[in-house]
Amino acid sequence: MDTSAEAYWKTVLTLIAQVLAVWFLVSYGCGILFASALNNIMLGGYPLGFWFSQQGSMYAFVALIFIYAWRMGKIDEKFDVHED
């Protein structure tokens, strides 16, 4: 494998690791670990920990999909492997 392909896959794997880290923090961190601390904050009449585990995580996951697609497009253009 040449250095360009290695750099491409290193960049892609770094992006995947970052997306998975955010996914983990939102789902496990905010929904479970930090839920009791977040429950001290109210959002729309509901505790924030409850809101995050029920609604906020879904919004974060959808945002992650769009961010991942946008960043992959930029990475593909940078390494000239994009589709026309």
Q: CA-to-CA distance for 39 and 69, rounded, in angstroms? A: 32
Q: For the residues 51-65, what does the mean pLDDT come to?
A: 86
pLDDT digits (tens, 9 = 90+) for 1-46: 678 999 999 999 999 999 999 999 888 887 788 888 888 988 888 8
- For residues 81 and 54, the model is more confident at 81
pLDDT of residue 31: 76
User: E strands of the chain, at which residues?
Assistant: 42-43, 46-47
- Residue 67 CA from chain centroid, whole number: 8
Q: For the residues 42-64, what does the mean pLDDT come to?
A: 84
- For residues 4 and 56, the model is more confident at 4
